[in-house]
Structure 1
Amino acid sequence: MAAKTLFDKVWDAHVVTEIKGGPSVLYIDKHLVHEVTSPQAFAGLEKRGISLFRLQNTLATADHNVPTKDQHLPIKEALSRQQVEKLTENCNKFGVTLYGLGHPYQGIVHVIGPELGVTLPGMTMVCGDSHTSTHGAFGSIAFGIGTSEVEQVMATQCLMQSKPKTMKIEINGKLGKGVVSKDIILYIISKISAAGGTGYFVEFAGSAIRSLSMEARMTICNMSIEMGARGGMIAPDETTFEYIKGREFAPKGAKFDEAVAYWKTLYSDEDAKFDQVLTYKAEDIEPMITYGTNPGMGIKVSGHIPAETEIDAASRLSFKKSLEYMDFQPGASLIGKQVNYVFIGSCTNSRIEDLRLVAEFVKGKKKAANINAYVIPGSKQVEKQAIAEGIDKVLAEAGFELREPGCSACLGMNEDKVPKGEYCVSTSNRNFEGRQGPGARTLLASPLTAAAVAVSGKIVDVRDFNLN
């Protein structure tokens, strides 16, 4: 039998039929739904007079448009209110399970799937959201889809998909002081560019990846989309099984043991062929920060913005345009640059481990007077855990504001926006023009770097602090 990659094994197990010379019909195990990309899909079903084909395979939550303050009150922004109300109406009409505002399981769609035990190894998972790739950390094929595809999955539980190429990115060695998983993925994207993974499904491997917790692995897979890849995945192991065990909707007892026996077969065979293999040393990775308007425009925080001559000719125009928007100069260092906003949250970095990391760093310290520091938990469960551990008090004493769950200032789709012209060091995943609000300037970084910036009031190298 031919050797297979992890991706091949999961893909092949879900192909219903193949169209000769064309795409495959792929069965979808779990469909996650939120308020932004679902209204037209539900309307399409209603128009055709059909119901969801496999209702139990669909789960909905409200995250993008929700406010992060006073969630018990009506939503102020008219469009946001309309989007959230429409989701509630549609889920009631079609019988879809919804974790809406006020529900103890509500949160960012890519945070609640794993923490509830909905996300499992070997699955195919989709959502009308590009960062669905997050769930690939469990060894599942997970990717974002468009609104017409959302309707397709609702109606048939299948999707027409062309099989992508495979890429393996291996990181071996030991991570240095102050370096966390966000730095790993920003480093990789800075090396291969925001388009370097186009056409591929990426498997992350190597000793540095194996050493990571599940939450750290989710951060890596979350941002695989930012290198242009269709998605990212990591083979499940004991860390994965331990994380899943005992979660609300995970298999229990003998069923869990049976599932683990299958999950243990989900790895790339030793002689499996990838279309491309890239290898990096963990020791070469330092705390990272972006300087431009795509996630590939990243540098070591101790480094400098590239000179124009360091940029290939085809990218120079967009490089210049980007620096104009950010008001940065080629060749400059970012160290010491004043920043007035810090955002810790999003589907990339809003899990309990992220909040623990920030709280541990800021304990006994105070944020700088110029800084507005927002910490947004990824779900009601994360928020509850943070309060139980006293993280809320540590943050409050340091002058940080812990708010209620939602996508928040990751994107300008709710009340949490960064004002025009202001810089924000953000733990989110995208730094496009206006992503955090019209005219806002975003610098992507890890929660640890963001916490150090909040305490300093300017861009700093977190390694200059005493780290445990």
Structure 2
Amino acid sequence: MGETLTEKIWRNHIVWSEPGAAGLLYIDLHLLHEVNTPIAFEGLRSSGRTVRRPDLTLGTEDHLVPTVDLFKVIEDPAMRTQAALLAENCDRYGIEVYRRGDPRRGIVHVIGPELGLVHPGMTVVCCDSHTTTMGAFGALAFGIGTSQVEHVLATQTLSLARPKTMRVTVTGQLAPGVTGKDLILALIARIGTAGAQGHVVEYQGTAIEALSMEARMTVCNMTVEAGSRSGVIAPDEKTIDYLRGRPHAPTGRAWDNEVEYWLGLRTDDDAEFDKEVTLDGDTISPFVTWGTNPAQAVPLDSTVPDPASMTDPVERAAAERALAYMDLEPGTSLRDIPIDAVFVGSCTNGRIEDLRASAEVLRGRRVAPGVAFYLVPGSDAVREQAVAEGLEEIFTAAGVQLRTSGCSLCAAVNEDRLSPGQRAASTNNRNFEGRQGKGARTHVVSPAVAAASAVAGRLAAPSDVGC
């Protein structure tokens, strides 16, 4: 019987295995940020251990950094200490770290691909669930916990049970204006937040093949919101074109050899998956979340669902609680919902393609009065490119400040957060209660819908504002 792509990568990285037990998986790349990792380093010190492969480890400041003034002192003392400890620990153990002011710095899941650090066939881990982003390159990438961070630092391996496999095939083609963000929201709405639990999801089909690398990263990024361990897409010529010339990509004969290997990394025709799901890409339209988890999402053209129509009592109770928190009434048109804020950024939608999509909507238009717009690139390199392409001029004319890079309102663990009751159209990945600030209400959307909503002052598609 043939193997899936996930099974091939797993087999190539198993250091030790035994029937019925977790395997010991070799890790090719370990990424660090400020949050939680200080605990792992303290564990190393207390046990008298050191970092096994500092050359395969990289740190970056992203979660806690201010985005209005890059060099502003972090106000919260605990956060300030966490940020300082990342740099101190990396320096102590010989790990490269990108501090504020380093042009390579940015959100960990953005700079990994951007610098060419992530290659097809690799295993990649980080103490962050959205490490799944890098599965877009045909890598097995997933988030790990603090104790696992310590284990990887000390051994460059990870004890992990082999996951099940799931194939999501997206047929047809996405219509103009429909994005990878809409595709993944449509999938999660269909299978639920536990629909891929215990599985690595491999995406296949004509609609997936047509996506840009940035859009593929968005899809893999939010795969974790369906309960998956990771998401993966087989490498193709788009993957090769993206990696070519990146700072950490191979060169010369090594590049040619790697490309030959990468393009052969595919699921065998006779491989079997533990679970199969098919979506019709032709039928997907712009999506928006109405509730407090990513599965509570519907097409923008529709209305807020009525919990009374839901037959599952658990689903009905969750919907009732979500509507109470979101202050929404069943039957309300999504387009009639006013917003107070917009966030374009995060590891989900903070790449140059996302900023271009927002700029296209904002060109020649102004943000509606009273709407706060948080525009936060995913890396300093993305910001520099946006300036070079003239996007900052479009943003400024629309009344929007192009901030410096960081996680910002995605998790609201720095100084960017909404006030209780504020409602946002947001390009991040989660709409949990309090995710963007205590009492804040989040509608997850694509960058184009977010920008259109900023102009309209309510949830809106680009066509609603003349695009």
Cross-structure match for 1:268: 267
Residues 339 and 423 in structure 1, CA contact (< 8 A), matched pair in contact too: yes
Give the gaps of 5 or more residues in structure 2.
none
8 Å CA contact 1:110, 1:347 repeated in 2? yes
Q: What are the equivalent positions in structure 2 for 1:15-414 lying under 5 Å apart?
A: 15-311=14-310, 312-414=312-414
What is the deviation of 1:319?
Answer: 1.4
Contact 1:292 1:322 in 2 (8 A): yes
**In the aligned structure 2, how far is the partner of 1:212 from the partner of 1:177?**
12
- Over the aligned positions, Cα root-mean-square deviation in angstroms equals 1.0
- Give per-residue Cα distances to partners, 1:199-238, cap 9 Å, x unaligned: 1100011000100111110000000000000010000000
How big is each residue's C-alpha offset from its partner over 1:372-411, in whole Å with a ceiling of 9 and x where there is no partner?
A: 1111000011011111111111101011121000000011
After TM superposition, the score normalised by the length of structure 1 is 0.98
Alpha-carbon separation, structure 2, partners of 1:27 and 1:81: 33
Query: Could you tell me whether the CA contact under 8 Å between 2:129 and 2:144 is conserved in 1?
Result: yes
Would you say the 8 A contact 1:138–1:234 is kept in 2? Answer: yes
Counterparts of 1:348 and 1:89 in 2: how far apart (Å)? Answer: 29
**What is the one-letter code of the residue matched to 2:449?**
T
Paired residue secondary structure (1:425)? strand
Q: Deviation string for 1:97-143 (max 9, x for gaps)?
A: 00111111110000000000001100000000000000000001000
Q: How many Å separate the matches in 2 of 1:152 and 1:381? A: 32
Q: How many residues align?
A: 466
SS in 2 for 1:70: coil
1:401 alignment partner, SS class: coil
Tell me, in whole angstroms, the C-alpha distance in 2 between the residues paired with 1:441 and 1:465.
23
The one-letter code sitting in structure 2 at the alignment partner of 1:162 is A
Q: Distance in 2 between matches of 1:335 and 1:443?
A: 12
TM-score by length of 2: 0.98
Pairing 1:454–2:454 present: yes
| Closer, same or farther: CA 335–352 of 1 in aligned 2, 3 Å | same
- Structure 1 contact 302–461 (Cα < 8 Å) conserved: no
Rounded to whole Å, the distance in 1 between the matches of 2:172 and 2:454 is: 30
Deviation at 1:465, TM superposition (A): 4.5
Deviating more after overlay: 457-466 vs 247-256:
457-466
Q: Structure 1: which amino acid aligns with 2:458?
A: K
- The one-letter code sitting in structure 2 at the alignment partner of 1:48 is S
2:411 partner amino acid: L
* Deviations 1:36-73 (CA, angstroms, capped at 9, x unpaired): 02101100111122211111110000111111021123
Distance (Å, rounded) in 2 between the aligned partners of 1:73 and 1:222 = 29
Q: How far apart, CA to CA, are the structure 2 residues paired with 1:391 and 1:251?
A: 31
Report the Cα offset of residue 162 of structure 1. 0.6
Letter in 1 for 2:435: R
* More displaced stretch, 457-466 vs 180-189: 457-466
Letter aligned with residue 415 of structure 1: E
**Structure 1: 5+ residue runs without aligned partners?**
none
SS at match of 2:141: strand
- Letter aligned with residue 305 of structure 1: V
1:420 maps to which residue? 420
Question: SS in structure 2 opposite 1:268?
Answer: coil
CA distance in 1, matches of 2:332, 2:454: 21
Match of 1:406, as an amino acid?
G
Deviations 1:261-304 (A, max 9, x none): 11011111111101111111111101000000000000000111
Distance 1:420 1:400 in 2: 23
Q: Quote the Cα distance in structure 1 between the aligned partners of 2:382 and 2:209.
A: 24
**C-alpha displacement of 1:4:** 0.8
Offset, 1:164: 1.0
